[in-house]
Structure 1
């Protein structure tokens, strides 16, 4: 393979990484429950940079569906505009997300939050000895999910497994349902590798659009970022029905429109895909049900919705990796990027 060996291996090793993530949460489950009860937050702020900001979007929605008042913001916003985000008189909890645990904005935002707000901090990272983990009151670390590649794949999804478990526990859901996730990931990667390759090799496709709602919007954004980073391709992410309000003007026979279909809004989201197909776009749906007239990546129908967001991503990671190789890009080393953004003056 001309480059991309690390990325490919990291994508394909996600089932094992997810197993490690489930174990990491299980080991701290009781401590997390006690910590949360003591913190008793009025509001949770979830923050990160790049991929982990998109994970923060998903995490905040999952927490809200669990009855927790939660919002997401980029770490740079929290660092530089904390007074506009944290109001006086409220009990906050900060959830920080970072693969390396050394991203400058996230580390500094966590420090600023603790000094200014004085509230509790939980971090999810892939580096247990990092400054972010050391500065948190409670740290979930999945060291085995760390990567050699610049673009996040298994690290993102493993951290997503942790935040799904956190939200599910707070809602009193049956956590054993998530034990199926590693096996389902294996099945998705094996069953749809050919589809991902075929779409990536389709020379008629020049634009990629990823559509998702609610917790899946953050996943759509992450899929968009993977396509940009790895293959330097035109890619955008939108809330599913918002796509009609202007962005669909870009759609034509040179477009692949990918719908991350949620159970709650499936009927409306499928109509969007139908409209895009009528405009000449190639359409791919990822859903827990079969979608008539469109290529579909089927997710298990018997899994509860709270543990499925992470399952929408692996096939799209494969798509981005294949597209990079088709274009002669090395997905291990994206153009102009490094694995960690370190800033001396922030």
Structure 2
């Protein structure tokens, strides 16, 4: 079994361990989540969900903060890096500290540049990964953050989703598609963005991500019978109509959410980690169909060090 697949299939065990972790967040603080790539997507999803629970939260890429030097009005920053060695994230931690902002690192590796710089750190070393592509650790970090506003026992549901995803995509002729689209609103938009990234990293695919109804306003012109669309749904009638329209135009559409192809109960955003699972399986199986090795994605390394 490849390293990547092994780290995907152990997700239920990781989520079980993650149940005992959380962050200390309060409604008085002004929080900022910072990351690059998948770590930024964790921050994006988290900020959308936390706001629903009265927690003030924003998100920025580390790169944008370094380039623009424009800092939002915050007093506490959470810097996310799976390896703890991403140069942009470490330099952003230094920048934030120099401005008197309390820095909290979240990583899966002990003794890293990020943990050395930050005022405080949480090291989730039980979820450290050997593979280049971030998979199970994404769900762990996201779960730990969301545990701060409402803990959910999700490891059993994760096991069922892994099995269902494998079965579902093995019955889809993934080799027939050359265009992958991901759609979602709010935290689901962040999940869509992460799904697109997994297809790029593992399978080197041409991908798009949009808000669902925005897809009609231009991007729909690129739709063909070789298009595979994934909707991370809020179960609205508008989205249901969109799915019908996309199918009429020849696209294959998969729906993640209540009453979808992957049925996941709406828990006011706390279910977000589970919605990632089908996207990981899609990325992995598409790579295998193309004869690619997901353990060795093109032009990528575990950390971006500059």
For the superposition of Structure 1 and Structure 2, which TM-score range results when normalised by the shorter chain? over 0.9
RMSD over equivalenced CA pairs, Å: 1.7
Query: Any gaps of 5 or more consecutive residues in structure 1?
Result: none
Q: Which residue of 2 aligns with 1:18?
A: 15
Q: Which residue of 1 aligns with 2:262?
A: 297
Q: What TM-score do you get using the length of structure 2 for normalisation?
A: 0.94
> 1:96 deviation in Å?
1.0
From 31, 48, 51, give the equivalent of 1:44: 31
After the TM superposition, which parts of structure 1 deviate over 3 Å for at least 4 consecutive aligned residues? none
Deviation by residue 1:158-201 (Cα, 9 ceiling, x = unmatched): 111112112x1xxxx4x3xx12x1110001111231212233x4
Is residue 140 from structure 1 mapped to residue 122 from structure 2 by the alignment? yes
User: Secondary structure, in 3 states, of the residue corresponding to 1:112?
Assistant: helix
Q: Which residue of 1 aligns with 2:71?
A: 85
From 120, 126, 129, give the equivalent of 2:102: 120
Q: Which residue of 2 aligns with 1:260?
A: 232
- Are the equivalent residues in 2 in contact too, given 1:124–1:162 (CA < 8 A)? no
> 1:231 deviation in Å?
0.7
User: Secondary structure, in 3 states, of the residue corresponding to 2:96?
Assistant: helix
Q: How many residues align?
A: 306
- Mapped to 1, the partners of 2:59 and 2:53 lie a distance apart of 15
Q: Which residue of 1 aligns with 2:53?
A: 66
Deviates more, 1:65-74 or 1:329-338: 65-74
Structure with the higher helix share, 1 or 2: 1
Query: Any gaps of 5 or more consecutive residues in structure 2?
Result: none
- Are the equivalent residues in 2 in contact too, given 1:60–1:71 (CA < 8 A)? yes
Is residue 187 from structure 1 mapped to residue 150 from structure 2 by the alignment? no
> 1:91 deviation in Å?
4.4
Task: Trace 1:1-346 onto structure 2 (pairs within 5 A).
Answer: 5-25=2-22, 32=24, 36=26, 40-41=28-29, 43-82=30-69, 84-86=70-72, 90-115=73-98, 117-166=99-148, 168=149, 173=150, 175=151, 178-179=152-153, 181-199=154-172, 201-263=173-235, 266-288=236-258, 290-291=259-260, 296-299=261-264, 301=265, 304-343=267-306
- Mapped to 2, the partners of 1:207 and 1:92 lie a distance apart of 42
> 1:123 deviation in Å?
2.3
- Are the equivalent residues in 1 in contact too, given 2:75–2:102 (CA < 8 A)? yes
